[in-house]
Chains A and B, each alone.
Chain A
């Protein structure tokens, strides 16, 4: 699997070199932050060393702990009862045959064997989900970054544009938008008609085996608001002095983007990449609504979670669905692990000497 193409390759050159040699101001900034951190560390050490001397203090501490856990309890009960419990149970179910009517029956690894050797629908589902994640996520992040940079360029009216670009993310996951999307991409719908004006005769996208995936990716990309806002915050954190210095050194816009923006933003990019990748794996509602729960046409919107849902709740194969869920958990965990491992080589945390 590895890293999606695009961003990963772009950032692989060591960014630190460019930044640390820039200007006086960044050196001061780093020195400042270093001294602040040292001070913090001293304070923390001091607190740790402060051992309560009297019996009363210790009792008070204990009571505070009890009160703390007391307040935590409702959440803990929910977490244990509604999250951890079901997860452990589903791990057990993954090794069973369970139709909800009769007690689960232990079948060992059968579910996993069936998944990878006997279920062409599963393989297709994995395939289209990977395409969706590997193609959709980079495009979405690129779009988010591009818009964020445009919004960062001028302050005038940026509040309005920020809100309007963010709006699709608020409504994007809703049922109505998926239905509108369906109507827009039907034969003789707005998209088809406007493309026809330019002489592109594609027909409807919703029922087209080849075009329904691009349509789903467009729907995802259109909801770039959340990563965009985070990018924008990251962009505003980049000291203006860096750009000024780069300009003095004769850097053009591309060079500034490559050598200042990208390295300074790499931690934010990493965060967005991780989050959006995981989110993309879990695509469900839009596909479920657009295909009316069928995963069609010809299984092209039968994403992993849609297929899992159908197996579990329509076919009553809870054991198989649980096994699928755990495979997804493992795959997402592995991808997150790989991303964390590779971040050393391309993610730069401002003010840290790595």
Chain B
């Protein structure tokens, strides 16, 4: 007969072995490759991460294919996510020490990652592997945190006022001719009133006091950035209260679209949905607007934002995105080569066009086939050159959270669930927390 004892022992051993195997397979693989000297023919593999959608992913694929024609020894593994998920993933990777070699980077996170030593200082490669000739100095300065360059801007954008010519035509209202904020308010009122008279649901615009960029614009008109070089807030509770108060008129009189409608169409904006005829936003949003508006709408208007103070430099060029390299990369030279290609090469320009904004590098711009909208944006950025001042200091750590808080408070003001004073209290409370994180 079968020896039951032996069988039991065997079963116990098998169970132990199986669970040990399960535990071990979890941490096999990997193993670091040595960094060492740069050998241009060495076979290396780089991870590249970016945020975007299928359209942008196809563009990256095209750019990487062109890159591999020149550097067949560098294999690039790319992956992409939506913007919020992209940063959630980077956060956990940063905590675990496993950031991808090359990343598309956002201005508002640059300081946080740089100050924690997560990004490679690119200074040694500037003018060497990374060509600085086609990049102007103020563009290069954007990516400097402390005394290190940790990001190279791919492209820039500026704050602007998009309008919808088709809706304006339909209503018989003239394009915004420029002017101060009161002029803008009355122009929006004209649109809303005309639309109401004609029985169509169109508003002049969205409550602009819900966005921190408009507050920044008005503060810069006074000569003050939102935050100082040291990351201290540079505005008072009164400044903020005054700003939010200034929007109460357009909110309460129904000149701007109501918040309830905005909630329903979110994540699309009112402008995307042809419910408003104007929107203050970054000028690289144009392509997205045209896509969301659909085939009926073929062109957009793009004019300068309302003027707070004549003759001041309140606007600035912001990097729409940068490229950064992880400080833990095993192949810094290869990574820098890829960054140079993605920032400077005409091939990258041909692949991306204006998808990432107007190319910051002259050589990339040469390769880019600007569509009519891209050409319009480039002309717009030229037209506002008198109003373009120095970029503000690299955003403070947690600026993204503050921007979102500002937006949420704007919604509550629009719903009337917060008074301006309560809103100011909440924002400063939040700022306290963020500055102390």
Contacts and interface: CB of A to CB of B under 8 A. Distances in A.
Interface of A: 60, 63-64, 66-67, 70-71, 73-74, 77, 97, 99-102, 114, 118-121, 186-187, 203-204, 206-209, 292-299, 313-317
A67 B400 CA distance: 54
B281 interface: no
B12 A298 contact: no
SS of A interface (majority)? loop
B264 A206 contact: yes
Contact of B412 (A71, A102, A204, A299): A299
Contact of A101 (B12, B118, B411): B118
A67 B8 contact: yes
Contacts of B34: none
Interface of B: 4-5, 8-9, 11-16, 18-19, 22-23, 84, 88, 91-92, 94-95, 112-113, 116, 118, 259-264, 266-267, 398, 400-401, 404, 408, 411-412, 415, 417, 422, 426, 429, 433-434, 436-437
A296 B408 contact: yes
Contacts of A60: 4-5, 8
Given A63-B5, A314-B84, A297 B23 contact: no
Contacts of A114: 433
Nearest to B17: A70
A330 to B, nearest CB: 23
Given A99-B437, A101-B116, A314-B84, A299 B260 contact: no
Nearest to B113: A101
A63 B12 contact: yes
A87 B401 CA distance: 26
A207 B417 contact: no
A60 B113 CA distance: 59
Contacts of A204: 260-261, 264
Given A63-B12, A74-B18, A206 B263 contact: yes
B18 A64 contact: no
B272 to A, nearest CB: 14
Contact of A67 (B12, B22, B94): B12
SS of B interface (majority)? helix
A298 B409 CA distance: 8
29 contacts: A60-B4, A63-B12, A64-B8, A67-B15, A74-B18, A74-B22, A97-B436, A99-B437, A101-B94, A101-B118, A102-B116, A114-B433, A120-B426, A121-B426, A187-B260, A204-B260, A204-B261, A206-B264, A207-B261, A207-B264, A294-B266, A295-B408, A296-B408, A296-B411, A297-B260, A313-B91, A314-B84, A316-B91, A316-B398
Contact of B263 (A121, A207, A314, A316): A207
Among B19, B263, B401, B437, find the residue whose CB has the most chain A CB atoms closer than 10 A. B263
A314 B84 CA distance: 8
Contacts of A118: 429
Contacts of A294: 266, 408
A70 B12 contact: yes
Among B12, B118, B262, find the residue whose CB has the most chain A CB atoms closer than 10 A. B12
B8 A317 contact: no
Given A120-B429, A315-B401, 10 more contacts: A63-B5, A64-B8, A119-B429, A187-B260, A204-B264, A294-B408, A298-B412, A313-B91, A315-B434, A316-B91
B349 to A, nearest CB: 34
Contacts of A100: 91-92, 94-95
B22 to A, nearest CB: 5
A117 to B, nearest CB: 11
A63 B411 contact: no
Contacts of B422: 120
A314 B260 CA distance: 24
B262 A207 contact: yes
Given A296-B411, A316-B398, A70 B433 contact: no
Contact of B95 (A67, A101, A295): A101
A295 B434 CA distance: 20
Contacts of A292: 266-267
Contacts of B18: 74
Contacts of B15: 67, 70-71, 73
A265 B259 CA distance: 47
A77 B20 CA distance: 10
